[in-house]
Amino acid sequence: MFTGIIEAIGKVTARERNRLVLEPQRPLKGLKIGESISVNGVCLTLDRISGFKLVFRLLPETLRVATLGGLKAGDEVNLERSLRLGDRLGGHLLFGHVDGRGTVSARHKRSGTLTLEIGIPRWMAAALVPKGPIAVDGISLTIGALADLKAQVHLIAHTLSATALGQKPVGAPVNLELDLIAKYLRGML
């Protein structure tokens, strides 16, 4: 499980058919082969460590559901190690299992804050509420407003400097994960 509080930005150094190679901008100490790491909100298993580079295998289902298949060398991604029992929850509980894709449909910058409008799938709209949580590319965010199949999220200065989301242009795809409670409630209805 994850919290959506990003630990580092990583740069894609290689993206082949079923392999993703990343280099974190700062070392993530104590990493172990087999460890779960959220990459843009997708729970991946660390397959290999090569110097400062992290190597992951991508399954066909991951490529189908998430945006990782579109990554190319030089792209930046958000990285978070899995939650350990006893850790503080700074964001909200996430599985790292992407529920769907969204699209950045608008960007508005004002007073050091960037507001993004994210186009969301129709089926997902019923599980979202204003002031409720959503994970966008693995980042725990609060929905500011919902209208016309768009969720508005605000990125403060810290989020802009600590994550790769602020660099996404209009039209860019993003990974979306619903709140854990919303998923279960949706499944019961």
- CA neighbor of 136 nearest in space, from 186, 98, 86: 98
Angle at alpha carbon of residue 99, lines to 98 and 104, rounded to 5°? 85
pTM: 0.94
Average pLDDT score, the chain: 93
Q: Tell me: the pLDDT tens digits for 96-128? A: 999 999 999 999 999 889 999 999 999 898 889
Residue 86 has what pLDDT? 79
Q: Residue 139 forms beta bridges with which residues?
A: 136
Q: Residue 85 forms beta bridges with which residues?
A: none
Looking at 89-155, list the stretches that DSSP marks H as alpha helix, in order from N- to C-terminal side: 122-125
Q: Tell me: the pLDDT tens digits for 128-182? A: 999 999 999 999 999 999 999 999 999 999 999 999 999 999 999 999 999 877 7
Say whether pLDDT at 185 is over 80: no
Q: Which two tokens stand for residue 39?
A: 């990459």
Q: Domains plus CATH for the chain?
A: 8-81 (2.40.30.20), 100-188 (2.40.30.20)
SS percent in the chain: helix, strand, coil, step 5: 15, 45, 40
